[in-house]
Amino acid sequence: MTFDDRLRRLKAQLTAAGADFLALVPGPNLTYFTGLRMHLSERPIVALLPAGDAPPILIAPSFEVGKASTALPWRAYGYADGTPYQAAFDAAANECDLHGKTIAVEPLGMRMLEWTLLSGSVRQLKHIFATDVIAPLRMVKDAAEVAKIRQAIALAELAFTQTLAQIRPGMTEREVAGLLMSHLLRAGAQTLLFEPLVQAGPNAANPHAHAGDRPLQRGDLVVIDFGAVVDGYGSDITRTIAIGEPDAELRAVYEVVKAANAAGQAAARPGATGEAVDRAARAVIASAGYGSYFTHRTGHGLGLEGHEPPYMVQGDTTPLQPGMTFTVEPGIYLAGKGGVRIEDDVLITNEGSESLTTLSRELIVI
């Protein structure tokens, strides 16, 4: 899908929502619709994409304006370092007749800095949240996007396999994370989706604990959560390994989570919903008596962002469509003892779903 295609679809969404412009700051949405990759910093940058036929507007530092000149027919308003930002916003508001217009705003992206400057320049400015404008466009990936996600998964799986060969008892969580980061970058990842999570023993009962200095010990389960980025698109995978044979309960918990992962993936098909996937995975864990120990949603959309719609959680009734990509990652977390999470990246297909992740789901004992 070309950027022209994306912008054409965006215009239709904006018109249906009653908005005149979509306001974007540097980040995944700006990249998705325009191809621009700009750095979010102390200098304000705002792109205004119109619902009508007017050219898009860019307000940015003068030295950044050149990035936009070859992408779209921007009306660019630059400012020099050391000069008031407001003058560039005033010029854009007056020359492009933004007064009284309705602007769709990223609720998780727009900063007070940019919004204060916009509202200080545009008289009678009105706004709506842009979530329902953007999400339907980005949730369904085209073939090129899926190919990038596949490549990001392949790199991550290679790096994980290389790291497994080096893990030994006595290494710290931080040492394992360092090895994994090194292998991810050497495998060809352009960057990491996030700093790898490596949680051993009791630390594995905290789903998002950062790698620390605790040494890996015999009997530990180790939760390893990691991802690579290729051309902006990410992978997000979790595997739980054991340092020596775990005790009977932890081994049983692992099998429950593995079954929950399979149930969640089996429920993922066109027309199903995110909450249906969540319920299927959660039912397996609840029936085993661990329902209260599954403390997060079953998954989240995956693409230019590590967490994006749709969400595999109660209340998300978005019908799943071919091309949607998301994680299925049930877990059980036993305070003071350990935890298990198995996370795969899933693609909705015309026939059902495909696990893009190919790593084994059997417990690996080191």
Please give the pLDDT value at position 201: 97
Average of pLDDT values for 51-56?
94
3-state secondary structure of 103: strand
Secondary structure of 224-279 as H, E, C letters? EEECEEECCEECCEEEEEECCCCCHHHHHHHHHHHHHHHHHHHHCCCCCEHHHHHH
Confidence grade of residue 72 (pLDDT, cut at 50, 70, 90): confident
pLDDT digits (tens, 9 = 90+) for 266-277: 999 999 999 999
Q: Which residues pair with 340 in a beta bridge?
A: 332
Residue 119 has pLDDT above 70, yes or no: yes
Residue 69 has pLDDT above 80, yes or no: no
Average of pLDDT values for 280-284?
98
C-beta separation of 243 from 216 below 8 A: yes
E strands in 151-236: 191-192, 197-200, 221-226, 228-230, 233-234
Q: Tokens 């059997």 label which residue?
A: 362
Phi, psi of 195 (to 5 degrees): -65, 125
Please give the pLDDT value at position 109: 93
Residue 363 has pLDDT above 80, yes or no: yes
Cβ burial of 173 (10 Å; 0-12, 13-18, 19+) is: buried
Please give the pLDDT value at position 1: 86
Q: How far is CA 65 from the centre of its chain?
A: 28
Average of pLDDT values for 283-308?
98
Of the chain, the end-to-end C-alpha distance in Å amounts to 45
Cβ burial of 286 (10 Å; 0-12, 13-18, 19+) is: middle
- Whole-angstrom distance, CA of residue 270 vs CA of residue 351: 8
Please tell me what DSSP assigns to residue 204. G
C-beta separation of 220 from 243 below 8 A: yes
Please give the pLDDT value at position 68: 78
- Whole-angstrom distance, CA of residue 366 vs CA of residue 363: 10
Please give the pLDDT value at position 172: 98
Residue 191 has pLDDT above 80, yes or no: yes
* Structure tokens, 157: 């799986």
C-beta separation of 328 from 310 below 8 A: no
Please give the pLDDT value at position 71: 66
The overall average pLDDT reported for the chain is: 96
Average of pLDDT values for 40-61?
96
- Domains of the chain, first to last: 3-138 (3.40.350.10), 140-365 (3.90.230.10)
pLDDT digits (tens, 9 = 90+) for 311-343: 999 999 999 999 999 999 999 999 999 999 999
Confidence grade of residue 70 (pLDDT, cut at 50, 70, 90): low
* Structure tokens, 158: 């290679």
pLDDT digits (tens, 9 = 90+) for 21-49: 999 999 999 999 999 999 899 999 999 99
Confidence grade of residue 236 (pLDDT, cut at 50, 70, 90): very high
Those residues whose C-beta lies under 8 Å from the C-beta of residue 70, and which sit 6 or more positions away, are none
Closest CA to 33 of 125, 112, 106: 106
Residue 153 has pLDDT above 70, yes or no: yes
